[in-house]
Chains A and B, each alone.
Chain A
Amino acid sequence: MIGGLFIYNHKGEVLISRVYRDDIGRNAVDAFRVNVIHARQQVRSPVTNIARTSFFHVKRSNIWLAAVTKQNVNAAMVFEFLYKMCDVMAAYFGKVSEENIKNNFVLIYELLDEILDFGYPQNSETGALKTFITQQGIKGQTKEEQSQITSQVTGQIGWRREGIKYRRNELFLDVLESVNLLMSPQGQVLSAHVSGRVVMKSYLSGMPECKFGMNDKIVIDKAGKGGVTDEVGKSDLGGGGSTSGKQSIAIDDCTFNQCVRLSKFDSERSISFIPPDGEYELMRYRTTKDIILPFRVIPLVREVGRTKLEVKVVIKSNFKPSLLAQKIEVRIPTPLNTSGVQVICMKGKAKYKASENAIVWKIKRMAGMKESQISAEIELLPTNDKKKWARPPISMNFEVPFAPSGLKVRYLKVFESKLNYSDHDVVKWVRYIGRSGIYETRC
């Protein structure tokens, strides 16, 4: 149970302070500021213990959110709550910034009262909250509406209200993945994993029942044995770059939105749910096997005497030639005693950024199965320090229009028995975005 929640700006000034339990004194606010925000050394741990009080904090740009407790709480729960709190605030007033918080402080206190009771997290579903915490001020609600709120808050499906109507039933599905890699200079993969999210935006009338299917290995294998073929979307929904024709992926672990029926997932491994209205995250997952690495970085560093360093870096794109990667950025670290840099590159723009001690090479667009190269000459100043340069890894950023994990959406069926629209009437959009996480190659 959370004892209190504070929001600070980057200077450590308190913007929001809400205490839920008596064991948290007023001085806890200062303790966090002094020991974490203004700490001499940067505090890297998200959990800090000060005088038998635990502070859990997350930082959104310049804003610090800190949950405080004196009890032994489930830390994962607290962080989940803090992230949810950020999402709720973003849903109400956009970006979580100092100015927005100051302008909406009454709303924030109202929200805090609603989603935490005596330190226990309550319903934090934005869709539901928006029905009774509005920004329009107090308006006289009819008895009908009031009773609806009551059933909403106390009912079984807290995340969706009844009687939603759309002229056009529409559904957007985004598969967002970030791929992390650490590669040796010889091109050996030292570690790689993909963490992905399935984000949905649904505009559906009534209380529809949805069923989501993807190429999960367990489901496919089971289906293969049973001989039942209910593959709907096959590979035409996904534009994956896999050339190996791989049919299924092994998901290491996944978590679902509260609307998904977990019992059904456990027994049949089928994902069925009544979706909330608007935007939400349906699931999160992680894979470590058979990852498609969109780029390969080949570094070549040569030290010429004590005062010169030659660097050559080649990047190769490794996906279907028809697809285009975007926002490519390669960051090549330079030694600390660099006194001058000359760069030559075929494609894109490269620049030595002294303030970051790195050469930054940017390419706007790059098609699959291409390669590009940069070479740089780095002049060094002789130092009397015997320390050798540690050679930090070369890192990369990019965005590709497929899922590096190989995940494909097979189907998303919508059933609404009461209203007269069927699965075919719903317009569905599917999009895949693969981004780089920490994508590094040692040199």
Chain B
Amino acid sequence: MPAVSKGDGMRGLAVFISDIRNCKSKEAEIKRINKELANIRSKFKGDKALDGYSKKKYVCKLLFIFLLGHDIDFGHMEAVNLLSSNKYTEKQIGYLFISVLVNSNSELIRLINNAIKNDLSSRNPTFMCLALHCIANVGSREMAEAFAGEIPRILVAGDTMDSVKQSAALCLLRLYKASPDLVLMGEWTSRVVHLLNDQHMGVVTAAISLITCLSSKNPDEFKTCVSLAVSRLSRIVSSASTDLQDYTYYFVPAPWLSCKLLRLLQCYPPPEDGAVKGRLVECLETILNKAQEPPKSKKVQHSNAKNAILFEAISLIIHYDSEPNLLVRACNQLGQFLQHRETNLRYLALESMCTLASSEFSHEAVKTHIETVINALKTERDVSVRQRAADLLYAMCDRSNAKQIVAEMLSYLETADYSIREEMVLKVAILAEKYAVDYSWYVDTILNLIRIAGDYVSEEVWYRVIQIVINRDDVQGYAAKTVFEALQAPACHENMVKVGGYILGEFGNLIAGDPRSSPLVQFNLLHSKFHLCSVPTRALLLSAYIKFINLFPETKATIQEVLRSDSQIRNSDVELQQRAVEYLKLSSIASTDVLATVLEEMPPFPERESSILAKLKKKKGPGAVSVELEDGKERGELNGGGDRGGDAAIAASNASTPSPSADLLGLRSTAPVSGTTPSAGSLLVDVFSEAGPSATSAGVNDDGFLSSAPPTVASEDPAPPLPESDELLNKFVCKNNGVLFENQLLQIGIKSEYRQNLGRMYLFYGNKTSVQFVSFNTTVSCPGELQSQLNVQTKTVEPLVEGGAQVQQVINIECLTDFIDAPLLNIKFRYGGALQNISLKLPVTINKFFQPTEMAAADFFQRWKQLSQPQQEAQKIFKASHGMDTEVLKAKLLGLGTALLENVDPNPENYVCAGVIQTKAQQVGCLLRLEPNAQAQMYRLTLRSSKDTVSQRVCDLLAEQF
């Protein structure tokens, strides 16, 4: 209840409240309230005038009854009457009642607005404050409409009292948050900014909240506040604790104001003016220095206030990310906090350090604390702190300490809290892959991971191991041996069985020489796990068995026996039964040659980014903070299309027979992957690029396992929206699959394959909404002379696309002769009545029709010389727009479609490639030479071909890629 002066202490109200409090039951309370309401009604009847005091008393009672949860449908008029009273307490109760009880569409609002207006213009500061508080408390649109013009005037008027200014600033902030379109600052801007210079600290504190909110919306208008804020901050920081008497909180001068100033500065980049910057750096240094001083008080409030400023300052330093000295100092300061006995401080220190670790200046400094952090991971009692420690370990990991960190995280995993296990598993998997120097270590780590926390190991993780093992010849034997040993444990996780089945099926022969792991032993080991596994795993194992037949003909009889048994050939699961039947037939009918062709070893997977990273990113919440920071700008659409593609693929594979065919594989091989185009300055992506060729596609699945055709792999890549369709074209120069286009409604995925001068492109139109698209229609057109250069045939799509569904369209392309432009794809459909019309360029470029040509050095130079006419050569010298990593370059050149020729150029830094472009009219031989200059970050690209237009076009296309 509001404080009331003596002699004004509404006895009736006190009695009523104590009556209510003394009620024994709900019923008694309701009776008492009914009685009181009847009493008030009879008093408000209107035949006799009430004095201000009783009016106030009864309005108070009504307010109390309302707050007890009863409906009040009268008394509003009396409350409004109170507003015009001259007594503070009466006015106050009137405003209180109105801010609690009056709804915005009440007819009284006009009267209320009038009363507020009167108070605002009354020049009585307390009345003005009351009115402002009421506006802020109601905060409705109507209020904003009525007063948004008035309040800024009060705020900046020279003669307004300080306390009113404070209220006005906060009131304006509230109105701005409620309806930003109504509060127009325009002319007031500069004067509001100058409030930062106000004498009164309270006004500054209130104003800075307003300015921070306004400037986060339109930073340019408020740019001037930076220098003012810096000077204000430096005055506070340099002042002695006694200078700002009323605003010193436990020996800390103006802590709230300091924090708000620092936060305001975080809305802007570092100041360009050297003097301002120097002053700011000085301030930050002083704050860091102060943290080192012995505390002036033992009270917790003192250290809280001090640390609040310190953490805000560190956030600012991290935000600027340009002062190595400060960054390192901040890091050291946080390092001290890591061992503080206050848990909250440790938590905050770990969290801030996570962001520090991503800065290149302080990364090394953060690394010095590794022991402490590991210790925190092991000994902290609070799971949220442990989680932060794990995040930090992940963030500070690099090649030098990867082994230690991964080992620590693995050992912690055994005892880790269940809530963070899955995330930990993903992190370990990513780190192990990212920093693996020695791939046997990688395999060991992941197998350990599956052993320790199998339940939390997602599909992506074990897909990834398989990809890496398949692509690395040197690790295959070791991997086979390790999985064989791991499988010998009496209880294996199912994921381990999956990895084991796959690897032994592929590379079991590498360890078959040892009598302890002879083919039959291997098979028996795998088969002993068979009955404990789920259907998908069993299907995979069946595939492994048929591979065994190919690898070890001596096991054929045993395996056929197994396949023939009723539990396989009459299995109730259609998939398993079909596999058993088909494999049995395959093994008994096909000759060894056919068998060997069908069941050939998996070809290496083309380059592809790790799908695990995408998975980690997908996990929302604070755990993903470091990842988000690192490549926040490049975050692609992670889920949407990928998942849907997967669903569709599964449906498709269920419908068709699981015979080994390239089509099937292509369909199945979609998994959500983030698209990260390598760019300088992005730590994570750089690191990924290093691991380029090994980081190959995730096209692993049980059907793909069998395929002998080169897999066409889907890679999901975010595409920019329409206007940049040229840039989009460039993205698809070196790859064939991905997300072509995406907006709120529609996602278009693309998958293409080319053979000689023919190409087939699958477009997947995914409806992202829950509403169906009607009159869905797509057309592909070849503008201008392209018509005679390309022959494009499309199949029509269904005019209806159900919500959440995906439709497929096949486009057949024939290259008649070389071409420059790209065909246009036009999509029209109706979504909820509105016509949508989207035009895109189809990513068909001349290089898609490259056939790689392998040739020796002599051969190459001979041909190079043959193509020496000036119009046959196209050359470009350009600056590197991405990193100059060898592996990435190689991958891109391969993606272009040419053969990369090793040991041809005398300079090992240079790359040479050769290929033939197949068109219907002719074949155009093409030679390429790329000479990077690491110092200057420049490339020289030379192309020679038998046709001048081709040289020029390919040169142009390729120049955009590096």
A381 contact from B25, B34, B41, B108, Cβ within 8 A: B41
Assess whether B188 is interfacial by the CB under 8 Å rule: no
| 15 extra interface residue pairs, beta carbon distance < 8 Å, beyond A355-B35, A379-B45, A381-B41 | A42-B26, A336-B37, A336-B73, A337-B41, A337-B73, A338-B41, A339-B38, A339-B44, A340-B45, A354-B34, A354-B37, A356-B31, A356-B34, A357-B38, A385-B73
The answer to the question of B564 belonging to the interface, with a C-beta cut-off of 8 Å to chain A, is no
CB-CB < 8 A to B74: which residues of A? 337, 381-385
The distance from the CB of B433 to the nearest CB of chain A, in whole angstroms, is 47
A383 to B38, CA, bound (A): 14
- A355 with B45: CB separation less than 8 A: no
Once the chains bind, are B34 and A355 in contact (CB under 8 Å)? yes
Contact at B73–A354, with CB atoms within 8 Å? no
CB neighbours (8 Å) of B108 from chain A are: 384
* Chain B CB within 8 A of A391 CB: no
Q: Judging by beta carbons under 8 Å apart, are B76 and A381 in contact?
A: no
The CA-CA distance from A354 to B25 in the complex, in Å, is 18
Complex Cα spacing A220 to B289, Å:
109
Interface centre among B25, B32, B41, B44 (most CB of A within 10 A): B41
Query: Given A355-B31, A381-B45: A338 and B76 within 8 A (CB)?
Result: no
At the interface, yes or no: A10 with Cβ under 8 Å from chain B? yes
- Residues of chain A within 8 A (CB-CB) of B591 are none
Question: Within 8 Å CB of B25, what residues of A?
Answer: 10
B415 within 8 A of A: no
Residue in chain B with minimal CB distance to A386: B73
Q: A340-B45, A384-B73 are in contact. Are A354 and B107 (CB under 8 A)?
A: no
**Chain A residue nearest in CB terms to B45:** A339
B44 touches A354 (CB 8 A): no
Asked if B775 lies at the interface with its beta carbon under 8 angstroms from chain A, I say: no
- Complex CA–CA separation, A387 to B107 (angstroms): 16
The answer on a CB contact under 8 Å between B45 and A354 is: no
A384 vs B108: C-alpha distance when bound (angstroms) = 10
Given known contacts A384-B73, A384-B107, A339 and B31 CB-to-CB distance under 8 angstroms = no
Q: A383-B73, A384-B73, A385-B73 are in contact. Are A340 and B42 (CB under 8 A)?
A: yes
Q: Does B39 contact A (CB under 8 A)?
A: yes
B744 in the interface (beta carbon within 8 A): no
9 A-B contact pairs sorted by A residue (CB < 8 Å): A336-B37, A338-B41, A340-B45, A354-B38, A381-B41, A383-B73, A383-B74, A384-B73, A385-B74
Cβ-defined contact, B26 with A339, below 8 A: no
User: In this assembly, does B106 line the interface, its C-beta being within 8 Å of a C-beta of chain A?
Assistant: yes
| Neighbouring A residues of B107 by C-beta, 8 Å | 384
Q: How far is the CA of A10 from the CA of B73 in the complex (A)?
A: 33
Chain B contact residues, CB within 8 Å of chain A: 24-26, 31-32, 34-35, 37-39, 41-42, 44-45, 73-74, 76, 106-108
A157 to B34, CA, bound (A): 55
Q: State A382–B38 Cα separation when bound (angstroms).
A: 13
> In the assembly, what is the distance between CA of A357 and CA of B44, in Å?
17
Given contacts A337-B73, A381-B44, A384-B73, contact A354 B39 (CB under 8 A): yes
Which A residue's beta carbon lies closest to that of B76? A384
Residue among B24, B74, B106, B108 with the highest chain A CB neighbour number at 10 A = B74
Q: How far is the CA of A354 from the CA of B34 in the complex (A)?
A: 6
In the complex the two chains form, what is the Cα distance from A357 to B26 in whole Å?
16
Give Cα A382–Cα B76 distance, bound, in whole angstroms.
11
Chain A residues with CB under 8 Å of B34's CB are: 354-357
B66 CB to nearest chain A CB (Å): 13
Q: Which residues of A contact B73 (CB under 8 A)?
A: 336-337, 383-385, 387
Contact of B32 among A336, A355, A381 (CB under 8 A): A355
Point out the residues of chain B lying under 8 angstroms from A338, CB to CB. 38, 41
Q: Which residue of B lies closest to A379 (CB)?
A: B45
Chain A interface residues toward B at CB < 8 A: 10, 42, 336-340, 354-357, 379, 381-385, 387
Q: Which of A337, A381, A383 has the most chain B CB atoms closer than 10 A to its own CB?
A: A381
CA–CA, A10 and B27, complex, Å: 13
Q: Which residues of B contact A383 (CB under 8 A)?
A: 73-74
Q: For B31, list chain A residues within 8 Å (CB).
A: 355-356
Question: In angstroms, how far is the closest chain A Cβ from the Cβ of B228?
Answer: 49
Q: 5 nearest interchain CB pairs?
A: A354-B38, A385-B73, A355-B31, A339-B41, A355-B35
Chain B neighbourhood of A10, CB < 8 A: 24-25
Q: Give A337 to B46 CA distance when docked, in angstroms.
A: 14
User: Which residue of chain B has its CB nearest to the CB of A339?
Assistant: B41
Contacts of B76 in A (CB 8 A): 384
Give the nearest-CB partner of A354 in chain B: B38
A338 to B106, CA, bound (A): 22
Task: Give the residue of B32, B35, B42, B106 whose beta carbon is less than 8 angstroms from that of A339.
Answer: B42
Cα of A384 to Cα of B105 in the assembled complex, Å: 11
Please report the C-alpha to C-alpha distance between residue A361 and residue B694 in the assembled complex, in whole angstroms. 95
Q: Which residue of B lies closest to A42 (CB)?
A: B26
B530 to chain A, nearest CB (A): 39
- Cα of A354 to Cα of B26 in the assembled complex, Å: 17
A339 CA to B38 CA in the complex, in Å?
6
A342 shortest CB reach to chain B, Å: 12
Q: How far is the CB of A356 from chain B (nearest CB, A)?
A: 7
**Inside 8 A of B44's CB, which chain A residues have their CB?**
339, 381
Contacting residues, chain B, for A387 (C-beta < 8 A): 73
With both beta carbons as reference points, the residue of chain A lying nearest to B106 in the complex is identified as A384
B106 surroundings in chain A (CB, below 8 A): 384
Closest to A357 in B: B34
- Which of A340, A383, A384 has the most CB atoms of chain B within a 10 A radius of its CB? A384
Residue of B nearest to A380 (CB): B41
Query: What separation, in Å, do the CA atoms of A10 and B26 have in the docked complex?
Result: 12
Q: Return chain A residues, CB-CB under 8 Å to B26.
A: 42
Question: Which residues on the B side are within 8 Å of A340 (C-beta)?
Answer: 42, 45
CA distance A338 to B76 in the complex (A): 17
Q: How far is the CA of A336 from the CA of B37 in the complex (A)?
A: 9
Q: List B contacts of A382 (CB < 8 A).
A: 74
Residue of A nearest to B43 (CB): A339
Which residue in chain A gives the minimum CB-CB distance to B103? A384
Taking the closest CB of chain A, its distance from the CB of B76, in whole angstroms, is 6
Determine how close the nearest CB of chain B comes to the CB of A37; give it in whole angstroms. 11
Whole-angstrom distance between the Cβ of A199 and the nearest chain B Cβ: 30
Minimal Cβ-Cβ distance residue in A for B73: A385
Residues of B within 8 A of A357 (CB): 34, 38
List the A side residues contacting B42 at CB < 8 Å: 339-340
Closest CB-CB distance, A44 to chain B, in whole Å?
13
* Residues of A close to B32: CB separation below 8 A: 355
A9 to nearest B CB, angstroms? 12
* Residue in B closest to A387 when the chains form the complex, CB atoms: B73
B34, closest chain A residue (CB) = A355
Give Cα A351–Cα B74 distance, bound, in whole angstroms.
Answer: 24
- Report the bound CA distance from A357 to B38 in whole Å: 8
Q: How far is the CA of A375 from the CA of B413 in the complex (A)?
A: 83
Instruction: Determine how close the nearest CB of chain B comes to the CB of A266; give it in whole angstroms.
Output: 46
CA distance A387 to B71 in the complex (A): 12
Of B39, B42, B44, B108, most A-chain CB atoms within 10 Å = B42
CB distance from B657 to the nearest CB of A (A): 49
Q: How far is the CA of A385 from the CA of B72 in the complex (A)?
A: 9
Nearest CB in chain A to that of B44: its residue: A381
Inter-chain CA distance A385–B76, complex, in Å, is: 11
CA A36 to CA B421, docked complex, whole Å: 40
Chain B residues whose CB sits within 8 angstroms of the CB of A339 once the complex forms: 38, 41-42, 44-45
Distance, CA A357 to CA B35, complexed state (A): 8
B108 — nearest CB in chain A belongs to which residue? Answer: A384
A358 to B, closest residue via Cβ: B34
Shortest beta-carbon distance from B700 to chain A in Å: 46
**Which residue of chain B lies nearest to A352 when distances are taken between CB atoms in the complex?**
B38
Q: Shortest Cβ distance from A425 into chain B, in angstroms?
A: 52
Expressed in whole angstroms, the minimum distance between the Cβ of A309 and any Cβ of chain B is 13
Q: A381 to chain B: which residues have CB within 8 Å? A: 41, 44-45, 74
The docked-state distance in angstroms from the alpha carbon of A2 to that of B385 is 49
Give the docked Cα–Cα distance between A384 and B76 (Å).
9
State the CA gap A252–B474 with chains docked (Å). Answer: 93
- The answer for the CA separation of A354 and B38 in the assembled complex, in Å, is 6
Task: Please give the distance in Å from A226's CB to the nearest CB on chain B.
Answer: 57
Report A-chain residues with C-beta under 8 Å of the C-beta of B37: 336, 354
